[in-house]
């Protein structure tokens, strides 16, 4: 199964912020949408960074409440790891595990089409394992 199939089920909505927004505004977006990260896009819709809850917490720990006045561009991860939509789910899981990241922007023909989280992939993996177990039970009960 590929990431395209995950996005077909999940949807292609991209929740984003601008690099010149405040961390406070970004935190409100994360909270209201109940998500752990957002992509920062420029005016052309190109990825300029990713901002996670962890990035915000790190800056608040260092600067206190004044950190919430910082711009997203000052706190986001600029070296963004992306993945192609035709990638197999297992490969995406391995990349996220190896790089210790929880969110991946998904591209198709170098254009952002969605974002997947480790939770999206784990949910799929559990469903696939349950379906496999059920198929095995059905097969075994038909044999005996």
87-141 pLDDT, tens digit each: 999 999 999 999 999 999 999 999 999 999 999 999 888 888 877 788 788 877 8
- Cα 76–Cα 82–Cα 86 angle in degrees, nearest 5: 155
Q: Given this model, what pLDDT does residue 132 score?
A: 77
pLDDT of residue 134: 83
pLDDT tier at 144, thresholds 50, 70, 90: low
The span from the first CA to the last CA of the chain, in angstroms, equals: 32
Q: For 34-46, what is the mean pLDDT?
A: 95
Q: Which domain holds residue 77?
A: 3-143
pTM: 0.85
- Run of H or E residues at 57: helix 53-63
Report strand pairing: 83-84 vs 16-17: unpaired
Q: How many domains does the chain have?
A: 1
Check which CATH number belongs to the domain holding 98 and give it.
Answer: 3.10.580.10
């Amino acid at each position: 199964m590929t990431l395209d199939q995950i996005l077909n089920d999940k949807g292609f909505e991209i929740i984003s912020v601008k690099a010149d927004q405040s961390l406070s505004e970004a935190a409100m977006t994360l909270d209201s949408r109940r998500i752990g990260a957002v992509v920062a896009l420029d005016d052309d819709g190109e990825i300029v960074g990713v901002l996670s809850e962890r990035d915000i917490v790190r800056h608040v720990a260092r600067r206190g409440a004044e950190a919430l006045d910082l711009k997203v561009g000052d706190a986001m991860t600029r070296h963004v790891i992306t993945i192609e939509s035709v990638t197999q789910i297992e490969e995406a899981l391995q990349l996220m595990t190896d790089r210790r990241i929880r969110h991946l922007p998904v591209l198709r023909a170098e254009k952002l089409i969605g974002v997947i989280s480790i939770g999206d992939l784990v949910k799929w993996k559990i469903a696939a394992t349950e379906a496999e177990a059920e198929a095995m039970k059905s097969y075994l009960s038909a044999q005996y």
